[in-house]
Homo-oligomer: A and B are copies of this chain.
Amino acid sequence: MNLDELAERILQGDRRALARAITLVESSREDHRAQATELLDRLRPHHREALRIGLSGTPGVGKSTFVEAFGCMLTAKGLKVAVLAVDPSSARSGGSILGDKTRMERLSRDRNAFIRPSPSQSHLGGVARRTREAVALCEAAGFDVILIETVGVGQSETVVAEMSDLFLLLLAPAGGDELQGVKRGIMEMADLILVNKADGDLKPAAIRTCADYAGALRLLRKRPQDPEGFPKAMTVSAVQEEGLEEAWAEMQKLVEWRKAHSFWARNRAAQARHWFDQEVRHALLAKLETTEARAAMDELAARVAEGSLSPAAAARDLLAELDKDDRAA
């Protein structure tokens, strides 16, 4: 399939073409990278936009169950839902999010849903880049809502928040002092905190935890992009499918307010600028990954290690070498 055909099929919402295109953006082969960039450029003029929802939750909070229940509720409304994941640990752990697909049985069989596991890259930067290109592909394929989930390892919440319109934090009911376990920085990113498992024995604890987080949210500095009452904490039960409609209503309220007050567009523009900066840094540093650059670096590094050349002088010499190669190319 050539790029024109692939682009055409994606625009028609062909899921197989979408999967294939995502595989293309995930590839690190240089010719694939060039094709992926070309493909994204062809899809761009169509300006299709989805609601990008970032979702973070540590293992055990019931994230898969939530995504399944929430996703099925949305598809029942006639919305097309894509689920992507940012999980830098998946390469090592053997793919924790891959497992999620089998745990989202109902959603994965839904014709209006598309689930894609995290690319198996060990660098968060690589995962982030591929995921946001996958987001762009899903938008072009006509999806209405894109859920980008992460288990919250290291910096992954920040990365997900940087590619989302809304950021949800999914939590489990907890003892009072466990509130400390959620880092302030993560709290500050959240638009909506959802305390899951508000069912059965855990319901009272969930309500208490929710009140604690609501109190903690009120102590945070007010953000310009929030209407009165946001960020907000709510209880949900993914298992019993309770609170999901209410959560969705709050999300829509927030989206409408932000669109009306131009924060939506401003946020997307700022995010695009951020990604551009990241792409540029990445592309510059990629110059070091060629066989020639590696050989030159190893040779200079040996001289630095033995003490006959300073790190700064060695760097200067390497850059001169790279520039010479560029000129010859």
Interface residues of A (CB under 8 A from B): 36-37, 40-41, 44, 47, 133, 136, 268-270, 272-273, 275-285, 287-288, 297, 300-301, 304-316, 318-319, 323, 326-327, 329
Contacting pair A41 B283 (CB below 8 A) = no
- Known A280-B318, A315-B279: A272·B305 in contact at CB below 8 Å: yes
Residues from chain B with a CB closer than 8 A to the CB of A283 are: 315-316, 318-319
Bound CA span A179–B145, Å: 46
- Known A47-B307, A136-B310: A285·B281 in contact at CB below 8 Å: yes
**Nearest chain-B residue to A269 (Cβ)?**
B305
What copy number does this chain have within its complex? Answer: 2
Residues from chain B with a CB closer than 8 A to the CB of A278 are: 311
Q: Can you offer 23 A-B residue contacts whose CB atoms are under 8 A?
A: A36-B312, A37-B310, A37-B313, A41-B309, A41-B313, A44-B307, A136-B310, A270-B305, A272-B307, A273-B301, A273-B304, A273-B305, A275-B304, A276-B301, A276-B311, A280-B288, A280-B297, A280-B319, A283-B318, A284-B288, A284-B319, A326-B326, A327-B327
Bound CA span A297–B276, Å: 9
Contacting pair A37 B316 (CB below 8 A) = yes
Bound CA span A41–B260, Å: 60
Residues from chain B with a CB closer than 8 A to the CB of A277 are: 301
Residues from chain B with a CB closer than 8 A to the CB of A287 are: 284
Contacting pair B310 A41 (CB below 8 A) = yes
